[in-house]
Amino acid sequence: MRVIIIDDELPARKKIRTFLADEVEIIGEASNGLEAVNLIEQLQPDLIFLDIQMPGLTGFEVLQALDKTIMPAVIFTTAYDEYAVKAFEVNALDYLLKPFDEERFQKALERVNKQNSQNNQYQQLTNLLLQLKKQPNYLQRLLIKTAGKIVFIKTDEINWIEAEEKYVQIHVGKDKYLYRETMNALEQQLNSEIFARIHRSYIVRIDFIKELVPWSHGDYLLILQDKTELSLGRNYRDKFLNNYKN
């Protein structure tokens, strides 16, 4: 089994390396989330030991940034019990609560060895990410992979969003970024007091709307601050007008 160890603390990485001994092939280590994403996608390990609280990206954000087709098995390592319990309860493979001993470590490894279905591993991690998205906190930032790097975009910098086949394009000023999330899923993660779904293909930041212009047959156009014109979909019209039209 090919393994990557991800932890911002060197002693923690050394401890895991010692406990692993010769049982697996350690193919890399990372000390922060950004490093981890690049290393995982480059080396495609079978298993990662993943710290949750790290600089740059949290362990959960590392998983969200990964290409889901290469998702490895995961054992979380954390000093924060609330995170460990959350990960465990939504069927993460296992977690190690710091400080952990070798006996507990070996039990986690044994559990991974029994999980011989890659599809099952993927499903467990998918369930974890879905569970995290159900939390009441709205998205504060997006992590978008582009041109071999990860771009951080604060949600309050987003002007509008449009559907791009099964994903979305995020418009920020004159730039746009492909974000690998569906329109419906992203809508659920955005604060409805700040963003409005106006069409099956569009979400806009409300304070980026400049004008609402009557068009024809009861339809409307939204004129944005950058002069972009978007149609107000009939299925979204009544809700939008009731909520935002004075």
Q: Could you tell me where in the chain the CATH 3.40.50.2300 domains are found?
A: 2-133
56/201 Cα distance (integer angstroms): 32
pTM (whole model) above 0.75: no
Establish whether the linkage from the previous residue to 55 is cis, with ω within 30° of 0: no
Cα distances (angstroms) measured from residue 241 to each of 94, 163, 195: 48, 22, 14
Measured in whole angstroms, the distance separating CA 189 from the mean position of its chain's CA atoms is 11
Integer angstrom CA distances of residue 5 from 8, 26, 62, 138, 177: 10, 8, 13, 30, 30
- Fold (CATH) for 141-244: OB fold (Dihydrolipoamide Acetyltransferase, E2P) (2.40.50)
- CATH 2.40.50.1020 in the chain is located at 141-244
pLDDT of 53: 83
What is the domain class of 2-133 according to CATH?
alpha beta
Q: Is the pLDDT of residue 151 over 80?
A: yes
Residue 18 or 129, more confident: 18
Angle value at C-alpha 118, between 116 and 122, nearest 5 degrees: 130
Residues 6+ apart with CB under 8 A from 108: 75, 93, 94, 95, 96
Query: Residue 138 pLDDT more than 80?
Result: no
Amino acid at 171: H
Instruction: Give the lowest-confidence range in 89-93, 173-177, 226-230.
Output: 89-93
Question: What whole-number distance in Å separates Cα of residue 103 and Cα of residue 19?
Answer: 9
pLDDT tens sequence across 57-77: 888 888 888 877 778 888 888
Q: Find the mean pLDDT for residues 208-222.
A: 87
pLDDT, one tens digit per residue, over 13-57 is: 999 999 997 778 999 999 998 899 999 999 999 899 999 888 778
